């Protein structure tokens, strides 16, 4: 199996690095100083589960150099998914599988706007990781996991082929019974803590422990639940309680990647998180006042970051 990783940030760097380190054929699409460092020194991963350095089969910023792929993991930011989908069309075979792993609720839909449905499998990952320096990935929290499944809930032979790739790496992975429920459950967590965290500059533990901010977290999650249900996602009735419990179990000083992007004046996934819920609320005639407030407050910072 030839696996291509598009986007070598915290997610693509860790999971792509683990696949390459297991001896499998991996091509990484990177750019700039990060690309140069990996080409020169290999990809270095500093992990709470053990550090390693790996040399992928190829690291490039030119898709024309890449061999056709059996599996493609899209690990860009949410707003870059459509661009990535257009880029990879030249390396698709008849049976190439494409899985998006970034945060967001509609990444599979974005892929389907460009690619034939036969290529697209739903997916998500759970990890705290980031680029520490060019060529260096830091995994600093959470047992890494990839969850994936067919969008129509069928159990197909190709899912087992993907699982074989992941099983060789040693990181946790599973085939989902309902990938949309899993995607929206993770989205509820990440969108709930990201925007409010950026707005308050508080850690997840600080927000959860503050009575009023705890209420705001729950209100944000509840609005996301209402949008998900209206879109036909079979979210369980107690999902908001479960997400709040999960938030409370996070490391006290942890922050979400989108929160860090906003605080460090980088373009973020704000539009794909709270902004997505506000947009879907308008489309579905569902009120989302908490998400709307958070989104409006952060929009000026996002606009400045994107002008740089």
Mean pLDDT throughout 215-243? 98
Q: Based on the domain organization, do 255 and 295 belong to the same domain?
A: yes
Tokens 């990879």 -> residue: 88
Q: Based on the domain organization, do 46 and 148 belong to the same domain?
A: yes
What is the SS3 assignment for 18?
A: helix
Residue 90: both structure tokens together? 């030249």
Estimate the crossing angle of helix 289-307 against helix 179-200, to 10 degrees: 70
- The whole-number pLDDT of residue 94 equals 97
What percent of the chain has pLDDT above 90?
96
Residue 61: both structure tokens together? 């910023």
Per-residue model confidence as pLDDT tens digits over 143-195: 999 999 999 999 999 999 999 999 999 999 999 999 999 999 999 999 999 99
Domain of 251, CATH number, reads 1.10.1040.10
- The whole-number pLDDT of residue 240 equals 98
Q: Which of 160, 177, 194 is the last residue of a domain?
A: 177
Distance CA 299, CA 308 (A): 15
- The whole-number pLDDT of residue 67 equals 97
Residue span of the structural domain in which 82 resides? 2-177
Per-residue model confidence as pLDDT tens digits over 32-69: 999 999 999 999 999 999 999 999 999 999 999 999 99
pLDDT band at 74 (very low <50, low <70, confident <90, very high): very high
Distance CA 55, CA 11 (A): 17
The CA–CA distances, whole Å, from 298 to 197, 201, 216, 219, 280 equal 11, 12, 16, 18, 18
Q: Based on the domain organization, do 167 and 277 belong to the same domain?
A: no
What sign does the CA torsion over 166, 102, 7, 249 have?
negative
User: Half-sphere exposure of residue 14, counting CA atoms within 13 Å on the CB side?
Assistant: 31
| DSSP states along 112-146 | HTTS-GGGB-EEEEEEEEEEEETTEEEEEEEEEEE
Q: Based on the domain organization, do 38 and 168 belong to the same domain?
A: yes
- The answer to whether residues 257 and 263 touch, using CB atoms and an 8 Å cutoff, is no
pLDDT band at 120 (very low <50, low <70, confident <90, very high): very high
R_g of the chain, CA atoms, integer Å: 19
Q: Which of 124, 153, 177 is the last residue of a domain?
A: 177
The strand ranges marked E within the chain are 2-6, 25-29, 43-47, 52-54, 58-60, 69-74, 92-100, 122-133, 136-149, 172-175
Residue 154: both structure tokens together? 């069928």
pLDDT value at 208 more than 90: yes
pLDDT value at 257 more than 90: no
Rounded to 5 degrees, what angle do the CA atoms 267, 271, 276 make? Answer: 160
Residue 185: both structure tokens together? 């459950």
Residue 140: both structure tokens together? 């600093």
pLDDT value at 308 more than 80: no
pLDDT value at 267 more than 90: yes
Q: Based on the domain organization, do 144 and 53 belong to the same domain?
A: yes
Domain of 155, CATH number, reads 3.40.50.720
- The whole-number pLDDT of residue 296 equals 97
Q: Based on the domain organization, do 101 and 154 belong to the same domain?
A: yes
pLDDT value at 142 more than 90: no
- The whole-number pLDDT of residue 116 equals 97
Mean pLDDT throughout 130-135? 96
- The whole-number pLDDT of residue 4 equals 98
Distance CA 163, CA 174 (A): 7
CA 167 to chain centre: 20
Distance CA 24, CA 144 (A): 19
- The answer to whether residues 122 and 99 touch, using CB atoms and an 8 Å cutoff, is yes
- The whole-number pLDDT of residue 141 equals 85
Q: Based on the domain organization, do 172 and 191 belong to the same domain?
A: no
Residue 95 main-chain phi, psi, to 5 deg: -115, 20
Q: Based on the domain organization, do 64 and 149 belong to the same domain?
A: yes
Cβ within 8 Å of residue 94, ≥6 positions away: none
Count of domains for the chain: 2
Distance CA 72, CA 179 (A): 18
pLDDT band at 292 (very low <50, low <70, confident <90, very high): very high
Q: Based on the domain organization, do 135 and 186 belong to the same domain?
A: no
Nearest one of 181, 67, 66, 186 to 125, comparing CA atoms: 186
Average pLDDT in the chain: 96
């Amino acid at each position: 199996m030839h696996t291509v990783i598009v986007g070598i940030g915290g997610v693509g760097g860790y999971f792509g690095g683990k696949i390459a380190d297991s001896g499998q054929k991996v091509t990484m699409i990177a750019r700039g100083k990060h690309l140069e460092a990996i080409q020169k020194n290999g990809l270095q991963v500093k992990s709470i589960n053990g550090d390693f350095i790996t040399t992928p089969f190829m690291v490039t910023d030119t898709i024309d150099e890449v061999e056709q792929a059996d599996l493609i993991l899209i690990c860009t930011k949410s707003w870059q998914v459509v661009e990535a989908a257009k880029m990879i069309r030249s390396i698709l075979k008849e049976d190439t599988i494409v899985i998006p792993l970034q945060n967001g609720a509609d990444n599979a839909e974005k892929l389907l706007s460009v690619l034939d449905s036969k290529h697209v499998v739903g997916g998500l990952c759970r990890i705290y990781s980031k680029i520490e320096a060019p060529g260096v990935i830091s995994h600093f929290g959470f047992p890494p996991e990839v969850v994936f499944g067919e969008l129509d809930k069928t159990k197909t032979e190709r899912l087992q082929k993907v699982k074989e790739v992941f099983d060789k790496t040693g990181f946790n992975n599973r085939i989902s019974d309902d990938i949309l429920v899993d995607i929206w459950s993770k989205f509820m967590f990440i969108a709930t803590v990201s925007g409010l965290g950026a707005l308050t500059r508080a850690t997840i533990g600080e927000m959860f422990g503050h009575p009023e901010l705890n209420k705001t977290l729950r209100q944000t999650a509840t609005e996301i639940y209402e949008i998900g249900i209206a879109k036909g996602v079979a979210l369980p009735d107690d999902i908001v309680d479960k997400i709040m419990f999960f938030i409370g179990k996070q490391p006290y000083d942890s922050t979400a990647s989108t929160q860090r992007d906003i605080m460090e004046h980088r373009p973020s996934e704000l539009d794909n998180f709270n902004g997505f819920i506000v947009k879907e609320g308008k489309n579905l005639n569902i009120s989302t006042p908490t998400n709307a407030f958070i989104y409006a407050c952060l929009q000026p910072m996002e606009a400045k970051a994107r002008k740089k």
